[in-house]
Structure 1
Amino acid sequence: MIIWICVAVLLLSFAMTGLLRRYALARSLIDVPNERSSHSIPTPRGGGVSIVVTFLLAVPALASVGLASESSAIAYLGAGVLVSILGFADDHGHIAARWRLLGHFVAAGWALFWLGGLAPLATPWGQIDLGWSGAGLALVYLVWVLNLYNFMDGIDGLASAEAIFVCAGACLIYGVTGHTELIGYPLVMCTAVAGFLIWNFPPAKIFMGDAGSGFLGLIIGALALQGAWSNSAFLWSWLILLGVFVVDATWTLLHRLLRGDKVYQAHRSHAYQFASRHYVSHRTVTMGVVVINVCWLLPIAAWAAFNPAYGIAGLALAYAPLCLLAYRFKAGSRE
């Protein structure tokens, strides 16, 4: 049944992205290059709506065949609809940053409530339950992952390829550790994004837009929290798989904060953006990230899943060279 659901999601996502491209062209929803852009050709935007719609349609289907719990379905449907509506409205006009952020916290809070909050963390000193402080930390974490995914969606194919890798990597780890009951959501997300990536692979024929990138960030962040309730080590595994995006976005934000920049203003000073200009190729950078993910982050994430007490050590090991890359490509620096 899961195979048929995924096939339907893939085909629907591909077809819907094509229709959204026609809609964007007809409504002049075009990303026109400016001094803060990483692309040089006017390109339709908003194609990420296909990811949102196909994933959310699959949620009740997964629940109906016993591949998802009722509480998790409510979490993803409610939070996903809210954050995608905010992104869709922002793609079509403009919503003040403070109202977007408020909506993000509401959506994250909804997901957190239905998923049960933050599971006890696996550490070298045993399981640590952070209680209410953990819930607050998890709320900030979800909002940050939502926004960092938006920040990192700046060159062709990168955000899509990252989502497919992270979710496929999680499926692999769930499979080898015997937690196949958790595979449903990330596998469906893989196929929903794959249908869109056919249109978004460099050179992109359509961009994801805020509706898609924010949705991906929130759902991926929530999937990590859900997995941690089955095995506390899975939270470390998800964070390791997300390493490229977490390090680049966080390093860039901190650098700009320390310099006194207005962090809510658009810019192109992430490491991946400097790299795309250095290599004069979106495809080179996107494929380079895929290689880092598969050859470096995936093995460490799998190791952390089997060694929960050392998950923090695995996280530090995984992030160390990524920090060096962020420094090498001057993440956060002014051009």
Structure 2
Amino acid sequence: MLWIAVATVFALAVILTGYLRQYALKKSIIDIPNERSSHTVPTPRGGGVAIVVAFLLSLLVLSGTLQGWWYLVALLGGGALCAVVGFLDDHGHIAARWRLIAHFACAAWVLAWMPQLPPLLWAGHEIDLGIAGYVLAAFYFVWMLNLYNFMDGIDGIASVQAITICLLGGALLWQIGALEIATLSFLLAAAVGGFLVWNFPPARIFMGDAGSGFLGLMIGALGLFAAVAQPALLWAWSILMGVFIVDATFTLFRRLLRGDKVYEAHRSHAYQYASREVGGHRPVTLAVLAINLLWLGPWAFAAALGYMDPALCLLIAYLPLLALALRFHAGKRETA
């Protein structure tokens, strides 16, 4: 039954993305390359709506079968609001302050439906953060939402990242018996996989803010849901998100220290410098896939299954990513 649902969501996303591409071409919803772009060919955008529709429809179909009904309410409400804000921004422009308010509203919705926050696992002890935990979780969701937007800058990278996180994270959840959250992870991977058919380098359509922000929120929420099932999974999920977390965070702080307007578009992430250095998007996207599968995946499993202290696993997993961020000049001021 699960694999039939996964195949159906994948096929629906493929079909919807093709339709959205035709719609974007007809309505001239096109990304035109400029000096801050990582692409050189005008390309339709907004294909991420297919991910949103395919995944949220799958949630509605599942609504009568899952015991954890609050998962569905949290994801449906928060995801729909996030996607609408991104869609409006794709079709015009919403001021940064209003987008930020909407993002915190999405976070608040998801948190409001959670029966509890998971404790923080530290040095073998579970720490209840209380009200501070909800504040931190809200900022975590907003950062995940925005970092996914920041990192959706070359063909296929955001899709490959989401698919590997959801498949590896879903496998961990399945192994510990958290089958419902695992199912949600696999369905999200299927929706993104259908979009990737059109987005793999060279991309025929871009995701757009509606898709990237939605993915950031959904992946962040699934990570927190996973930690409710087992606290160590929050560390494992953070390890799996390492490529995006390290590049986006390092770049943001470097630009903040320099006094840049961080809400303005730029192309100074490590992955963007890397794509220019190697002369294409595909090698970098495939490198991210390899890092996730061969490096971060094993450390995530070690953290989740108790082979090593989770915090130590994360530190070891992140150190080479920090080295790569430095090697590829993450956050360095762009030269003409």
User: What's the CA shift for 1:125?
Assistant: 4.5
Aligned residues: CA RMSD? 1.1
Normalised to the residue count of structure 2, the TM-score between the two structures is 0.97
Write the distance in 1 (CA, Å) between the matches of 2:63 and 2:286: 35
Write the distance in 2 (CA, Å) between the matches of 1:302 and 1:62: 28
1:333 alignment counterpart: 332
2:283 alignment counterpart: 284
Task: Encode CA deviations 1:231-259: one digit per residue, 9 max, x unaligned.
Answer: 00111111000000000000000000000
Amino acid at match of 2:281: H
2:6 alignment counterpart: 6
3-state secondary structure, aligned to 2:262: coil
1:257 alignment counterpart: 256
Write the distance in 2 (CA, Å) between the matches of 1:70 and 1:4: 21
1:92 alignment counterpart: 91
User: What's the CA shift for 1:309?
Assistant: 7.4
Task: Encode CA deviations 1:276-304: one digit per residue, 9 max, x unaligned.
Answer: 00001100000001001101000000000
Write the distance in 2 (CA, Å) between the matches of 1:316 and 1:62: 37
Amino acid at match of 1:33: P
1:183-222 correspondence to structure 2 within 5 Å = 183-222=182-221
Write the distance in 2 (CA, Å) between the matches of 1:182 and 1:192: 16
Write the distance in 2 (CA, Å) between the matches of 1:56 and 1:89: 18
Amino acid at match of 1:253: L
State, as a whole percentage, how many aligned pairs show the same letter: 55
Amino acid at match of 1:9: V
1:39 alignment counterpart: 39
Amino acid at match of 1:243: G
User: What's the CA shift for 1:311?
Assistant: 1.1
Amino acid at match of 1:43: T
Amino acid at match of 1:20: L
**Structure 1 residue ranges without an equivalent (≥5):** none
User: What's the CA shift for 1:181?
Assistant: 3.4
User: What's the CA shift for 1:308?
Assistant: 8.2
1:18 alignment counterpart: 18
1:146 alignment counterpart: 145
Write the distance in 1 (CA, Å) between the matches of 2:307 and 2:166: 20
CA contact (8 A) 2:181 2:222 kept: no
1:69 alignment counterpart: 68
Q: Is 1:266 matched with 2:244?
A: no
3-state secondary structure, aligned to 2:18: helix
CA contact (8 A) 1:124 1:309 kept: no
User: What's the CA shift for 1:117?
Assistant: 5.0
Aligned pair count reads 334
3-state secondary structure, aligned to 2:260: coil
1:162-173 correspondence to structure 2 within 5 Å = 162-173=161-172
Q: Which runs of 4+ in 1 moved over 4 A?
A: none
User: What's the CA shift for 1:174?
Assistant: 1.7
Gap change, CA 1:101 and 1:308, over 3 Å in 2: farther
1:306 alignment counterpart: 305
Write the distance in 1 (CA, Å) between the matches of 2:97 and 2:250: 22
Amino acid at match of 1:130: L
**Structure 2 residue ranges without an equivalent (≥5):** none
CA contact (8 A) 1:269 1:334 kept: yes
Write the distance in 2 (CA, Å) between the matches of 1:177 and 1:296: 21
CA contact (8 A) 2:68 2:180 kept: no
